[in-house]
Amino acid sequence: MKGKCYIQGMAAISPQPTFEGDIFSAPLVHTDSNLLACIEPDYKPFVPGNSLRRMTRVLKMGLTTALKCLQESGVATPGPIITGTGKGSLQDTERFIKEIEDYKETALNPTPFIQSTYNSVNGLIALQQKCTAYNNTFVHRGFSFENALLDSMMLIQEGEPHTLTGAFEEITAEHFYIKSRIGYWKSESTDSRELYKHLSPGTIAGEGAVFFTLAGTPTQQSYAAISGFKMLYKPVPGKLTATLKNFTTHADLIVTGRNGDSNFEHYYQELDNCFPDTPQLPFKHLCGEYDTAGAFGLWLSAHILKAQQVPQQWFSMFNQLPEHINSILFYNHFYGEQHVMILLERV
């Protein structure tokens, strides 16, 4: 990677109480329904009521998270807006498809059609903030957020002072059912707090919206620097280990996307073998599994680096953590296909 980029501000709506207050004292939210749903805030302070009435859940979550992130970063009008989403607004898509069938392709509501497009959240942010700069949404399954991040870093390299970069995903009952039919979720009811003890096929579902303000220069309020980044698609045996070993820079902590899915556990075992002495923190018991869960992992890693502490109440099952955390290696993959490694450093 040519140069670093810095996380200047961030916000998250997730199944944990992450939107407001101090995450280091927020309680751990858990479930045994195999589905971690977001805790939604009051949207009215962020979005005018007349606009809210038309929006479905993920649009409200995405837009509000983006606005909170800008507010936290002190940026009034964003420059480029770059996001990633695997599925976009599922609620709108499902409603639109159902109406095609119910009304025999006639008399279709325009709103779910318009909002089912993946770039709706980006459009809403730009409209509300009157931003006419670069605006792009990446839809690449488990690489959606990562491509948004890569695009943002390249823009910063080219001289953009800052970008608004994020990801959003929602789970619906319909989508949960469809994915359960192809073995995405565990067949047995699993307590999310004990996810890593239940090594069996499938994992637990999740959702969330996370936004970052990225910049080319650090300030006192920077959370972390992104100093290394690598994506691998369906790595052949040995390729993952070889790539992980390239991150030989000493990482004090590894944040991993481990999710209790025995079908893909071998990838995390490769990680264990590469870094046997580095403590690891898995995060999927907090947010569940979804295409852009990596954004939540990055958000958590940046918080840990800035605060120099781990939200202990969320990780009571782990007790060996380093005193000083100067760098974090983040590793995640999406059902064995899209793998990402990000190196974060303390600013």
Question: Considering the rule CB under 8 A, would residue 107 count as an interface residue with other proteins?
Answer: yes
| Shortest Å distance, C-beta 103 to other proteins | 7
For residue 90, give the nearest of 124, 121, 56, 62 by alpha carbon. 56
Question: Considering the rule CB under 8 A, would residue 109 count as an interface residue with other proteins?
Answer: yes
Taking CB under 8 A as the binding criterion, the range among 47-55, 129-137, 234-242, 318-326 that sits at the site for other proteins is 47-55
Exactly one of 42, 50, 132, 220 binds other proteins (CB under 8 A); that residue is 50
Instruction: Measure the CA–CA gap between 287 and 294, rounded to whole angstroms.
Output: 10
| Shortest Å distance, C-beta 135 to other proteins | 20
Question: Considering the rule CB under 8 A, would residue 54 count as an interface residue with other proteins?
Answer: yes
Question: Considering the rule CB under 8 A, would residue 111 count as an interface residue with other proteins?
Answer: yes
Exactly one of 28, 39, 108, 321 binds other proteins (CB under 8 A); that residue is 108
**Residue (45 or 159) nearer to other proteins, CB:** 45
Question: Considering the rule CB under 8 A, would residue 110 count as an interface residue with other proteins?
Answer: yes
For residue 205, give the nearest of 216, 195, 220, 215 by alpha carbon. 195
Q: Please enumerate in sequence order all residues whose Cβ is within 8 A of that of 146, keeping only pairs 6 or more positions apart, or say none.
A: 84, 140, 231, 294, 338, 340
Strand order in the sheet with 81-84: 135-138, 81-84, 162-169, 208-215, 5-13, 224-233, 338-345, 327-334, 253-256, 280-282
Question: Considering the rule CB under 8 A, would residue 49 count as an interface residue with other proteins?
Answer: yes
Neighbour-count burial of 17, counting CB atoms closer than 10 A to its CB (0-12 exposed, 13-18 middle, 19+ buried): middle
| Shortest Å distance, C-beta 51 to other proteins | 10
| Shortest Å distance, C-beta 54 to other proteins | 7
| Shortest Å distance, C-beta 52 to other proteins | 8
Question: Considering the rule CB under 8 A, would residue 103 count as an interface residue with other proteins?
Answer: yes
| Shortest Å distance, C-beta 208 to other proteins | 24
For residue 300, give the nearest of 15, 3, 2 by alpha carbon. 15
Exactly one of 26, 28, 39, 114 binds other proteins (CB under 8 A); that residue is 114
DSSP letter assigned to residue 42: -
Taking CB under 8 A as the binding criterion, the range among 16-24, 50-58, 322-330, 334-342 that sits at the site for other proteins is 50-58
| β-bridge mates for residue 261, sequence order | 200
Instruction: Measure the CA–CA gap between 61 and 164, rounded to whole angstroms.
Output: 15
Q: CA dihedral in degrees (14, 17, 23, 26; nearest 10)?
A: -140
**Residue (40 or 194) nearer to other proteins, CB:** 40
Question: Considering the rule CB under 8 A, would residue 106 count as an interface residue with other proteins?
Answer: yes
User: Could you tell me how many residues of this chain bind other proteins (CB under 8 A)?
Assistant: 12
For residues 13 and 62, is the Cβ–Cβ distance under 8 A?
Answer: no
Question: Considering the rule CB under 8 A, would residue 45 count as an interface residue with other proteins?
Answer: no
For residues 86 and 142, is the Cβ–Cβ distance under 8 A?
Answer: yes
Question: Considering the rule CB under 8 A, would residue 53 count as an interface residue with other proteins?
Answer: yes
The Cα angle at residue 122 between residues 144 and 130, in degrees rounded to 5: 150
Question: Considering the rule CB under 8 A, would residue 221 count as an interface residue with other proteins?
Answer: no
Binding site for other proteins (CB under 8 A): 49-50, 53-54, 103, 106-111, 114
